[in-house]
Structure 1
Amino acid sequence: MLIRVGQAGCALRWDAVHQCWRWPDPVGSQIYAWPAPPAMPSGLRMLESARVMASCRSGRLLMGLGKRLGMVELPEPGQPGRALQAQVLLTIDAAEPRTVISDGCADRDGNFVFGTANTARDQRPIGSFYQYSQRYGLRRLALPAVAAAAGIAFSPDGRTLYFADSARGVIQCCHYDAELGKAGGLKTFAQLLAPGPGTAIVDSAGALWSVQGGALVQYSRHGEVLRRIALAREPAASVAFGGAALDQLLVLGGQGGLYGLPPDLAGGLAPGLADTLFDDSGSASRGNLQA
């Protein structure tokens, strides 16, 4: 264990701009960083909770805040502590009160791809997948409705999109065109070893790392199970490569613990791929929803 902070963990990401891992705590309404950037605290308080995040080219953070996407400006080093308030960009599926943003990441072209989940007890498949960019606004991807979108990740070339649904026992993949905002050619990539899929990442060799059932499972690029890693103290919630050479794989526990792999497991792993920074350089195209 490297550090334990907060009450819950999700959406671990490597922030290449500030050279640290970041993750939101949706229970404590905090954003944490490890190692903490110089003259910055490890935790930053937010006025509302978030489960999903992506680093932006400007150094800001794009956050999934319940049903809304928002932009958070990080304080300058040494600034007095204050609660961070997100600039709301848009509300997702405003007419459907049961859905919230459940998972997402930037694609290889700097667009944000995310999905929603049904929070009602019926767990009906009413969640959807979207692409958001400053250039095109919000575009719905032509993928099947889900009970809860999870495990969104992209192949090294960005042309394959992986995702899972909490109500199904498979990881699916499809062809993805970032410029057109289109997905097609859906097929099954692999079977889940346990229910409850979480976040996922792809390394430089094309292997998929999937959090499922509180453990970390590595699949080959062809969908074969290579290894399964479980934490002794708490269920795994998220995973991310980071460090200067992207050769450090850290696992975030569901109760706020951050873990590094022991040498016998970490040795010989292919390095990760840097998260593409969300392109927030343009003006937002609000309310632009394409089916």
Structure 2
Amino acid sequence: MLLRVGQAGCALRWDAAAQCWRWPDPAGSQLYAWPAPPVMPSGVRMLESACAMACASSGRVLLGLGKRLGMVELPQQGQPNRPLQAQVLVTIDAAEPRTNISDGCTDRAGNFVFGTANTGQDRRPIGSFYQYSSRYGLRRLALPAVARATSIAFSPDGRRMVFADAVRGAILQCDYDPERAKVSNVKPFSELLEQGAGAAIFDRAGNLWSVQGGVLVQYDRDGQVLQQIALAREAAASVAFGGADLDQLLVLGAQGGLYGLPPDLLKGLTPGVADALFRDGGSASSGSARAGR
């Protein structure tokens, strides 16, 4: 364990510009960073809870806030630590009160791809998958309806997408065209080893790291299991590659613990693939200044 903060863990991302991991705490309405960059304390309070996030090209952060996507400005050096107020970009499925955003990440072209979950007790499959971009706005992906969208990840070349329903028993894959927001050739990738699919990421070799049932499972590119890793103190919630060479793999626990792999598991670890920045159309000067600090 590296540290424990907050009450819950969900989406873990590496911010290459600030050289830190970031993650929202949906229970405590906080946005955390580790190691804490000089321009931002380790935790900043948000006015709304978030469970999905992506770093943006302008230096801001894109967040999935219940039924809305919103953008927040991170504190600059010397500014008072005020709660983060999101600029709302779009409301998702406004006519359906039972759905909220449940998972999301950028594709390799810098669009934000995300899914929704049924928050009702019936757990019916009424969740959907979407692509959002500054250029085209919101576009629904023609993928099967789910009870809770999760495990959204893109192969290193960006032409294959994996996804899952947290309530059902398989990870699926499809061909993906980011420019047209088109999907095709939907088929199984692998059955889940543990009930409950969670976050997923690819490494540079095309292996998939999948959180399921609170355990981290590594698959090869053909869906064969390579290894399983369990946390001793809590269930795993998310996973991300980071570090200057993307050769560090950290796991975020469901109760807010942040963990690194033990040395024996780090031997021969294939580095990850850098997250594409969400192309938000904002000023590039903010991101450039932030990257240079």
Shorter-chain TM-score range: over 0.9
Q: CA deviation at 1:78?
A: 2.4
Q: CA deviation at 1:195?
A: 1.2
**2:112 alignment counterpart:** 112
CA contact (8 A) 2:58 2:282 kept: no
- State how far apart, in whole Å, the 1-side matches of 2:145 and 2:184 are: 14
Query: Following superposition of structure 1 onto structure 2, how do residues 111-190 of structure 1 map, counting pairs within 5 Å?
Result: 111-190=111-190
Deviation digits for residues 142-161 of structure 1 (CA, Å, limit 9, x no counterpart): 00000000000000000000
Measured after TM superposition, the shift of residue 39 of structure 1 is 4.5
Aligned to 1:45: 45
Q: Secondary structure in 1 aligned to 2:47?
A: coil
Whether the 8 Å CA contact 1:15–1:55 is kept in 2: the answer is yes
Cα deviation per residue 1:168-227 (whole Å; 9 max; x = unaligned)? Answer: 100000000000010010000001011111110000000000000001000000000000
SS at match of 2:116: strand
Residue ranges of structure 2 left out of the alignment (5+ in a row)? 284-293
Larger deviation: 32-41 or 123-132? Answer: 32-41
Give the secondary structure class of the aligned counterpart of 1:276. coil
| Aligned counterpart, 2:198 | 198
**Structure 1 residues 199 and 227: CA distance shift in structure 2, 3 A:** same
Cα distance in 2 between the residues matched to 1:10 and 1:78:
29
TM-score for both structures, normalised by structure 1: 0.96
Cα distance in 2 for residues equivalent to 1:198 and 1:112: 18
Q: Give, in angstroms, the shift of residue 166 of structure 1.
A: 1.6
The CA distance in 2 between the partners of 1:39 and 1:23, in whole Å, is: 16
Contact 2:57 2:282 in 1 (8 A): no
Q: Which runs of 4+ in 1 moved over 2 A?
A: none
1:232-268 CA-to-partner distances (Å, cap 9, x unmatched) read: 0000000000000000000000000000000001110
Cα distance in 1 between the residues matched to 2:119 and 2:39: 39
Amino acid at match of 1:224: Q
- 3-state SS in 2 of match to 1:264: helix
2:244 is aligned with 1:247: no
- Helix, strand or coil at the partner of 2:259: strand
Q: Among the aligned pairs, what percent are the same residue?
A: 75
C-alpha RMSD of the superposition: 0.9
Would the aligned equivalents of 1:40 and 1:78 in 2 still touch at CA under 8 Å?
no
- Matched position secondary structure for 2:179: coil
Give ranges in structure 1 of 5+ residues lacking alignment: 284-291
Structure 2 equivalent of residue 289 of structure 1? none
Note the 1:278-289 alignment, pairs <5 A: 278-281=278-281
Question: One-letter code of the match for 1:244?
Answer: A
SS of residue paired to 1:185: strand
Counterpart of 1:89 in structure 2 is: 89
Q: What is the aligned partner in structure 2 of residue 70 from structure 1?
A: 70
Q: Structure 2 length normalisation: TM-score?
A: 0.95
Name the aligned partner's letter for residue 157 of structure 2. Answer: D
Pairing of 1:200-219 with structure 2 (within 5 A): 200-219=200-219
1:119-169 deviations in Å (ceiling 9; x for gaps): 001000000000000000000000000000000000000000000102210
Match of 1:287 in 2: none
Structure 1 counterpart of 2:33: 33
Contact preservation (8 Å) 2:40, 2:74: no
Aligned length: 283
- Distance across 1 between alignment mates of 2:146 and 2:78: 44
> Which amino acid counterpart does residue 233 of structure 2 have in structure 1?
R
CA contact (8 A) 1:209 1:217 kept: yes
